[in-house]
Amino acid sequence: MTFTSPLAEALAPGLLERFLRYVRIDTQSARERTRSPSTPGQLDLARLLVDELQAIGLDDAALDGNGYVTATLAGTGPVIGLIAHVDTSPDAPGAGVEPLVHRDHPGGPIELPRHGIVVEASAGDIVTSSGDTLLGADDKAGVAETMAAVAHLAAHPELPRPTLRICFTPDEEIGEGATLFDVERFGAVCAYTLDGSDLGELQDETFSAEEVVLTIDGVDAHPGWAKDVLVNATRIAAEVVAALPPELTPERTDGRDGFIHVYELAGGSGRMEVRAIVRDFDDDQLHAHTARLRSTAEEIVARHPGARLDVAVTAQYPNMRRYIDAFPQAVTAAEEAIRAEGIQLIRTPIRGGTDGSRLSAMGLPTPNLFTGGHDYHSPREWASLQEMAAAAAVVVRLAEVWARDGAPPPR
């Protein structure tokens, strides 16, 4: 794969250096968060980013007490935000990342040195892990692209740009990236997360999301004297999971289909906890899936005298489409920037969420841009340098669009 433009090619060497530096820092977030950020490694990367932002001339770069890095590149016109997250997923090992650069890969399989893992990658300069860990392109590709684009603009004051507000957030992978984000202080009319995947992606729609926790209390007893006494919560939990419709699982759905995903069972015969995430693009369907999970559990637990059920439902994030639709210039500016880079535009909904889901609901319309990372949350994760460089170039062109068009009408 060739570079999409001379600008992208010029950005690539510095971008790659940044990316390789960032992925070596262990920034996995932890689901059982007791502080922000949930893990100290995120602060290590955050401090490095503050130093690098100050070195390129963004003197106000700072790290707040909750792990958010912010900075400003002054320009002409409206204030536009650029956002990426520093944490990586807890779904696969993330400590000790050893990035490998496979130059001039012809496209096809790459066998990693460890564990016999095979990556299917496109042609170009490809970055992978060694196979022991995830790579961390989600979202250190977005971090590196933002840094590369902002450094380029700072080094070339003659290039048009609006005032750019940069923010690197913690704990996005556990759904907390926007929790302590100060939208008013950030002061942007809209923002863009760099947290997508395929070249040319522009996304303004996500799942709506809920988490459901079923707690099943049984009656424990010594198995040798358990007849007519034991009410086994483990077996009841297994019945509940088995009774859920298979057509509503992630492995059987795609496109605009929602799902119920049971991702964890924990406990023993006396008490079991069943954790599930529920997703759909339509709120009514989302609530119907949650009701299906609840009613299935209630029906099965009721068959076991002595067992008790508690159901806790937590809203996680909304479909951001309804909020971004009220501010269409956020999307049209990004469309123009992607096309200006000579890239075919791809408009697909996200079968997941981003910081932009909650930020849009909080009053900051935030579409999502591609990064060139692929196969996230696994040791098969890889990133294309050519696609990453294209993403950084799109940010530079997006700055030009906003500087030319000026402030949009009030929302």
Q: Which residues are catalytic?
A: 87, 172
**Residue 275 three-state SS:** strand
Contact yes or no for 72/58 (Cβ under 8 A): yes
Instruction: Name the one residue in this structure whose structure tokens are 């289909």.
Output: 257
Cβ of 65: how many Cβ atoms within 10 Å? Answer: 8
Q: C-alpha angle with apex 324: 374 to 28, nearest 5 degrees?
A: 35
Residues 6 or more apart whose CB falls under 8 angstroms from that of 123 comprise 1, 105, 106, 107
Q: Which two tokens stand for residue 29?
A: 């977030």
- DSSP 8-state symbol, 133: S
Choose among 82, 85, 138, 86: nearest CA to 396.
82
Closest CA to 12 of 145, 128, 103, 143: 145
| 3-state secondary structure at position 107 | coil
Distance CA 95, CA 185 (A): 34
What is each CA distance from 226 to 39, 99, 267, in whole angstroms? 43, 54, 18
Per residue, the 3-state secondary structure of 69-102, as one string, reads EEEEECCCCCEEEEEEECCECCCCCCCCCCCEEE
Tokens of 74: 């002054």
DSSP string, 328-397: THHHHHHHHHHHHTT---B---BSS--HHHHHHHTT----EE--SEESTTSTT-EEEHHHHHHHHHHHHH
